[in-house]
A and B are shown apart, each in its own frame.
Chain A
Amino acid sequence: MAVFIGRKVGAALIVVFLASVIVFAGARALPGDPALAYAAEDRDPEVLAEIRDKYGLDDPVPVQYVRWVGLALQGDLGTDSRGIPVAETIVTRIPLTLELATLALLIGALVGIPAGVIAAVRRGKASDYAATTVALLGLSVPHFWLGLLMIIVFAVNLGWLPAGGYVPFREDPIGNLEHMLMPAIVLGTGLSAVLMRQMRSAMLTSLGADYVRTARAKGLSERAVVGKHALRNSLITVTTVIGLQLGALISGAVITEQIFGIAGFGRLTVDSIAQRDYALLQGVVLVAAVGYVVVNLLVDLSYSLINPRIRVAGGRSA
């Protein structure tokens, strides 16, 4: 087990390292002179030279990279063009996005998993077709359009919910949820569609498995067969899917925050690109990639805890 964990963590570290190289190279590849971004309107060559000197922009790129990673490991991601520490900005923005993502995950799971179970149990019946069709629609509707539609209906026409903005939970819990409800539904829709489809096919597989036939043969109630035997085994698959959906969740958060004017982590990503803010962009994308890798690592590990066969097979092939 220790060897297995070590190997997985090692692979994740390699991925994080290479990701940091790509992030750094990508930020360097952005058009425009970073010194100009820092200098804002000031194009005085002396000022620019001073900035280049201060941020070490004249050093060879590998040197800059090593310095950046060295500081990043200590939690220092540099300062953005307005002189605010990047790490600080990220730390203040992340809670908003985490709240949004958690609510979206909750909605996705609460809608998607039961819908998938029902569709599988009632395979071929009307409820199965209805759930499958709605899921397909949910997959094809882009976040930003769903967001606009919900704003038109629930904010503009009905006036039930605010069209955008954010209220901290500690200040006004109900107002916070009011502001977060639409974005969370928008972000959770795609996820619930994916979960429904995965859950349905996983359940169909388990329902056809020998242990379910055995459970039925020994006279267990249908409820126990579905709930205890089939559902539990299907949930394992779905755990992995949730981990894999994290990327979609991050992409979705970028768009959703943009539409609802939530100043979270996703919004920060777009802003940093729009403002050509090197340090900020590097930090944001690095944190996103690391988060993604870490979550997938945790999913991998928990998966192997639940199902020891994965560990053996994974250990052999990796």
Chain B
Amino acid sequence: MSYVEAQPLSPRARRRRVMRRRFLRRPAAVGSLVVVVSFVLAAVFARWVAPHPPGATDFDAILAGPSREHLLGTDELGRDTLSRIIWGARASIQAGFFATMLAMAVAVPIGLVGGYYRGKVDTVIARITDVLLAFPFLILAVGLAAILGPSLLNATLALGIAAVPPLIRISRGETLELREEDYVRAAVANGANDGVILGRHILPNMTSTLIVQATLTIPAAIIGEAVLSFLGLGVQPPTPSWGVMLNAAQPYLSEAPQLAVYPGLAIVIAALAFNLLGDGLRDVLDPKTER
């Protein structure tokens, strides 16, 4: 007689399965994930997704309304709005992701060190964070972008640096709390060195907080990129970006208001999707926070 032994799921796999179920039970979170993924795919495969090249001009259709040829109409040079929005997603997604990654890469180690070692280093870190927090996010980003010079890369850098201070505060606070946990004390008693404690015990336990923060920083950076480009401090025309498109639409508000509507709608949908995804992830990863 043969039998198949039931394989008990490892605790980690079980946890993952519970998370997935909890996530799938939230329609808003699932929907926002779908939207986020479509935005990313559209940005990456813009060349194939967009019906027209972003710079292609159609002089027979200038400031035209929606038509079969141009689903969302055209701008003052006869360029296809839909195609430019799809290409513009590249700048937004790029700024959103890379600025957030940069901010995390800088802020988390600083927060870990400050929160874990306390003492003078921590005081200095906390004070500098306070000072940087005295500058509003966008003002800091605008100032940095002005120093670095206008381009998408520099705007991304500026947004990333500007997002560092709040993330330091969060990761530091989290470390302060986690270092008092019993498992950290146990690890210390077992003679684990600081690197192991920080990397294997504290960091993994704050990943859920960090993931949620990341999904909330990305939309801020996406809107930030649009604002910088709108002010002429980010992506430079003719390269399409949602902020550039909105800026270019300003003279045509009465003739072709749709030019100002669609790119903004893209920003709102993208930002909303990331915010909802962040909310959903917080519910799933951190059951403590009741809503």
Contact = CB atoms under 8 A, between A and B. Distances in A.
Given A19-B135, A30-B147, A139 B267 contact: no
Contacts of A145: 226, 246, 260, 263-264, 267-268
Contacts of A270: 142, 231
A101 interface: no
A292 B246 CA distance: 30
Contact of A14 (B127, B137, B246, B272): B127
A254 B139 CA distance: 8
Interface stretch (A38-46, A82-90, A212-220, A244-252): A244-252
A152 B137 contact: no
User: Which of A16, A18, A250, A251: most chain B CB closer than 10 A?
Assistant: A251
B129 to A, nearest CB: 10
Given A26-B147, A30-B146, A142-B264, A19 B227 contact: no
Contact of A292 (B128, B134, B253): B134
B223 interface: yes
A18 B134 CA distance: 10
State the main secondary structure of chain B at its contact with A: helix
A269 interface: yes
A141 interface: yes
Nearest to A123: B291
Interface in B114-149: 127-128, 130-139, 142-143, 146-147, 149
Question: Which of B139, B142, B233 has most chain A Cβ within 10 Å?
Answer: B139
B239 interface: no
B139 A285 contact: yes
A142 B223 contact: yes
B257 interface: yes
B275 A140 contact: yes
A154 to B, nearest CB: 12
B143 A273 contact: yes
B136 A250 contact: yes
B253 A148 contact: yes
Given A142-B227, A144-B246, A273-B142, A19 B134 contact: yes
B230 interface: yes
A291 B264 CA distance: 31
B111 interface: no
B113 to A, nearest CB: 20
B254 interface: yes
Contacts of B135: 19, 22, 247, 285, 288-289, 292
Nearest to A30: B147
Highest count of chain A CB atoms <10 Å: which of B131, B149, B263, B291: B131
B159 interface: no
A160 B219 CA distance: 33
A15 interface: yes
A139 B273 CA distance: 12
A248 B137 CA distance: 8
Interface in A16-47: 16, 18-19, 22, 26, 29-31
B136 A142 contact: no
B9 to A, nearest CB: 34
Chain A contact surface mostly: helix
Given A140-B268, A141-B268, A148-B260, A269 B134 contact: no
A250 B226 CA distance: 17
A151 interface: yes
A207 to B, nearest CB: 13
A274 B149 CA distance: 11
A163 to B, nearest CB: 8
Of A19, A136, A139, A273, chain B has the most CB atoms within 10 Å of the CB of: A273
Nearest to B258: A152
A136 B149 CA distance: 33
B264 A15 contact: no
A258 B232 CA distance: 12
A15 B263 CA distance: 39
Contact of B142 (A14, A139, A163, A269): A269
Given A19-B135, A285-B139, A292-B134, A144 B253 contact: no
A66 interface: no
Contacts of A139: 275
Contacts of B137: 247-248, 251
A26 B138 CA distance: 15
A254 B226 CA distance: 14
B139 A288 contact: yes
A141 B272 CA distance: 8
Interface string B237-253: 00000000010011001
Nearest to B144: A26
Contacts of B223: 142
Q: Nearest 9 pairs between A and B by C-beta?
A: A145-B264, A247-B136, A251-B138, A140-B272, A140-B271, A18-B131, A251-B136, A273-B146, A152-B257
28 contacts: A15-B130, A15-B131, A22-B135, A29-B147, A31-B147, A31-B149, A136-B272, A136-B275, A136-B276, A142-B227, A144-B227, A145-B263, A145-B267, A145-B268, A149-B260, A152-B257, A156-B257, A157-B257, A247-B133, A247-B136, A247-B139, A248-B136, A250-B136, A255-B227, A258-B231, A285-B143, A292-B134, A292-B136
